[in-house]
């Protein structure tokens, strides 16, 4: 595969997810149960953002109520970005992007997870830095 492989081959389409209305407690429970460092956020069937460990940490440190604070309050919404500049710390890239370009974009945006878009720019799953580095060396 290597650095020129497309990122779509490693997309986790069944990434653990929360909804906009889930609570901080539910997000923590889902993340710890799945043993992962980020959850996709769904609005209905649509992927709209990411909740990372840092998002959860920030919310807990702010003393947000575990049972009343909704994911919509502390999630990182995603927008499509290009090599020009990040619109949001949550990055969404096309599944046809190359591993090397995806790693460079993540580095520039300062994020460790990204949503991957398929046809019609619809998010289809999530990748982490570790997923991309595995592709780079395979």
55-77 tens-digit pLDDT? 999 999 999 999 999 999 999 88
What's the Cα-to-Cα distance from 57 to each of 12, 15, 39, 42, 75, rounded to whole Å? 24, 20, 14, 20, 12
Predicted TM-score of the model (pTM):
0.76
Q: Name residues whose C-beta falls within 8 Å of residue 28's C-beta, 6 or more positions apart in sequence.
A: 56, 66
The pLDDT assigned to 20 comes to 96
Token code pair at residue 83: 């090599």
Does any domain span residue 2? Answer: no
Task: Quote the domain boundaries for residue 129.
Answer: 7-137
Q: Is 17 inside a domain boundary?
A: yes
Check which CATH number belongs to the domain holding 80 and give it: 3.10.580.10
Q: Which residue has the higher pLDDT, 78 or 60?
A: 60
Q: Structural domain tally of the chain?
A: 1
The tokens describing 59, both together, are: 């919310």
For residue 1, tell me if it sits in a domain: no
Asked whether residue 21 carries a pLDDT value surpassing 50, the answer given is yes
pLDDT at 1: 75
What's the average model confidence in pLDDT over 126-136? Answer: 91
């Amino acid at each position: 595969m290597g650095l020129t492989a497309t990122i779509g081959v490693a997309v986790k389409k069944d990434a653990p997810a929360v909804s906009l209305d889930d609570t901080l407690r539910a997000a923590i429970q889902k993340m710890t149960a799945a043993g992962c460092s980020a959850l996709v956020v769904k609005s209905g069937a649509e992927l709209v953002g990411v909740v990372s460990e840092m998002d959860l940490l920030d919310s807990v440190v702010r003393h947000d109520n575990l049972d009343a604070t909704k994911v919509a309050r502390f999630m990182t919404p995603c927008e499509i970005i290009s090599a020009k500049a990040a619109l949001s710390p949550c990055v969404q890239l096309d599944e046809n992007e190359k591993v090397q370009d995806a790693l460079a974009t993540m580095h520039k945006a300062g994020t460790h997870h990204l949503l991957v878009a398929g046809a019609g720019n619809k998010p289809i799953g999530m990748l982490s830095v570790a997923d991309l580095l595995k592709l780079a060396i395979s």
